[in-house]
Amino acid sequence: MRPTAFFLGVICTVLLLALWYCAASAQVVLTEDACLTRAIITMPSGDITIDATAGGIQVLAANAKRCNALIINGGNAALRGCPSWITVSASVGVTLGAGQSLPLDRDGRAAWRCIRTTGTSTSATIIESAVP
């Protein structure tokens, strides 16, 4: 093998590795270890009133650094919730009765919307943990 071809191969390999490293470091990679050791638990807002607004009320904004979240129905009426890419309605979404909660793992990184299922408005409380 000629030395020129060898060095050209080494240079190409180094350039490809550098390109891969730059592409990988540009993405937000949320590891389980980061969630276990660096997550901050917050309640981003007080109780959110959930009414019959068409398309639902946003209770969680999208957050790629969120480790998990908990939607709690703090009212006396049922509500439904789902990720924002699904149109929530009184008949579509996960149903939470009064006092029930919905734990979200990776699904909690998406935006979530909720709507009431009866004639009475209710409230939702959000608790989340995210890596700063």
pLDDT score at 41: 83
pLDDT digits (tens, 9 = 90+) for 61-108: 999 999 999 999 999 999 999 999 999 999 999 999 999 999 998 888
Was domain 32-130 assigned CATH 2.60.120.770?
Answer: yes
pLDDT score at 20: 43
In the predicted model, is pLDDT for residue 24 greater than 50? no
Reported as type and span, the H/E element at residue 73 is strand 66-73
Q: Locate the domains of the chain by residue range.
A: 1-30, 32-130
- Residue in the structure block whose two tokens are 């990776």: 106
Whole-model pTM over 0.85: no
Please give the structure tokens belonging to residue 81.
């919730």
